[in-house]
């Protein structure tokens, strides 16, 4: 199921969502080479800049011995050499949120960010949305690290942060129609159903697919939690009174029905 757009109007221009898309595309084109790097150069780039579970757990850059044995060592043996000894392994957790493994990875993530991000930004406001987005990405990374602490495989991609946005969308706009390509058919599906199916499918990801599905789930659950919490605050109530926008239906009666107008953990 490929989402194409939602039918959920916003009350303001999603400035941060647009900027995030531009930054992600710019990083891929201008820093990652736009897919023109050789396999060896891509691997070198990933190890130098991306988050790696082993590094985040031990606090030190991975060594040649760890990569050769495909496992993390708390105390690498004598003679082990770090590939990038000056790497800030914690800053890499943020940087990796803006790195992608190829055009399909990038464009898929940016499509999801545009469809679901503009309405969440509209509800939260641009500054709060940016903080929420970044924290979602960090929580997603933490979830994957907790699941695979001994991994020396780089984590790249924005989908952990975008999963947080999707989790909030599920809570706030479950009945917003999402135009979806299903095989060769175009159908409108309630966002709640679409997002629930997407979440369930994460648990059927193949173990050898190199998809960081735990990061997806972690980001999604975090987004849901934040959305539920924020909706109970006085700040939220006052904000909605001042600037109501978007899909407001909360029951099935408001649903208009169909027919209306390289080896890395990808996350």
Q: What pLDDT does residue 230 have?
A: 92
Q: What pLDDT does residue 251 have?
A: 36
pLDDT at 207 over 70: no
Q: What pLDDT does residue 240 have?
A: 73
Burial class (CB in 10 A: 0-12, 13-18, 19+), 204: exposed
- 109-159 pLDDT tens trace: 999 999 999 999 999 999 999 999 999 999 999 999 999 999 999 999 999
- 155-180 pLDDT tens trace: 999 999 999 999 999 999 999 999 99
Q: What pLDDT does residue 110 have?
A: 97
Q: How many CA atoms lie within 13 A of 104 on its CB side?
A: 3
pLDDT at 200 over 80: yes
| CA nearest to 162, candidates 225, 115, 232, 197 | 115
Average pLDDT over residues 7-19: 93
Q: What pLDDT does residue 238 have?
A: 79
Token digits of residue 180: 């979806």
Average pLDDT over residues 6-11: 90
Q: What pLDDT does residue 113 have?
A: 97
| CA nearest to 121, candidates 224, 250, 3, 18 | 18
pTM of the entire structure?
A: 0.88
- Tokens 């780039």 belong to which residue? 45
Lowest mean pLDDT of 21-25, 51-55, 205-209, name the range.
205-209
Q: Hey, CA dihedral for 47, 50, 53, 54, is it positive or negative? A: positive
Q: Which residues pair with 189 in a beta bridge?
A: 178
- Tokens 């009666």 belong to which residue? 253
pLDDT at 70 over 60: yes
Q: What pLDDT does residue 72 have?
A: 87
What is the overall mean pLDDT for the chain?
Answer: 88
Q: What pLDDT does residue 97 have?
A: 96
> Do 155 and 50 contact (CB within 8 A), yes or no?
yes
Q: What pLDDT does residue 256 have?
A: 43
Q: What pLDDT does residue 257 have?
A: 45
Q: Hey, CA dihedral for 140, 144, 146, 151, is it positive or negative? A: negative
- 208-267 pLDDT tens trace: 677 888 999 999 999 999 999 998 888 878 777 666 555 554 433 343 444 444 555 555
Q: What pLDDT does residue 18 have?
A: 97
Distance between CA atoms of 54 and 66, rounded to whole angstroms?
A: 9
Q: What pLDDT does residue 252 have?
A: 38
């Amino acid at each position: 199921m490929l989402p194409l757009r939602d039918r959920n109007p916003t009350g303001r221009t999603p400035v941060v969502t647009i900027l995030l898309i531009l930054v992600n595309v710019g990083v891929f084109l201008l820093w990652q080479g736009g897919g023109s790097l050789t396999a060896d150069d891509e691997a070198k780039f990933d190890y130098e800049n991306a988050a790696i579970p082993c590094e985040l757990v031990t606090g030190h850059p991975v060594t040649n011995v760890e990569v050769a044995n495909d496992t993390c060592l708390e105390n690498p043996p004598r003679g082990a050499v770090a590939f990038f000894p000056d790497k800030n392994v914690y800053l890499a957790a943020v940087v990796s949120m803006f790195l992608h493994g190829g055009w399909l990875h990038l464009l898929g993530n940016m499509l999801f960010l545009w469809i679901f991000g503009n309405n969440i930004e509209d509800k939260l406001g641009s500054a709060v949305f940016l903080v929420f987005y970044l924290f979602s990405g960090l929580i997603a990374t933490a979830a994957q690290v907790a699941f695979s602490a001994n991994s020396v495989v780089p984590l790249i991609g924005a989908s952990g942060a975008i999963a947080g946005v999707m989790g909030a969308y599920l809570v706030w706009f479950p009945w917003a129609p999402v135009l979806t390509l299903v095989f060769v058919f175009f159908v409108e599906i309630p966002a709640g159903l679409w997002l629930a199916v997407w979440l369930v499918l994460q648990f059927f990801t193949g173990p050898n697919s190199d998809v960081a599905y735990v990061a997806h789930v972690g980001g999604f659950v975090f987004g849901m939690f934040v959305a539920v919490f924020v909706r109970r605050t006085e700040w939220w109530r006052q904000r909605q009174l001042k600037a109501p926008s978007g899909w407001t239906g909360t029951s099935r009666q408001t649903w208009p029905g169909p027919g209306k107008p390289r080896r890395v953990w990808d996350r």
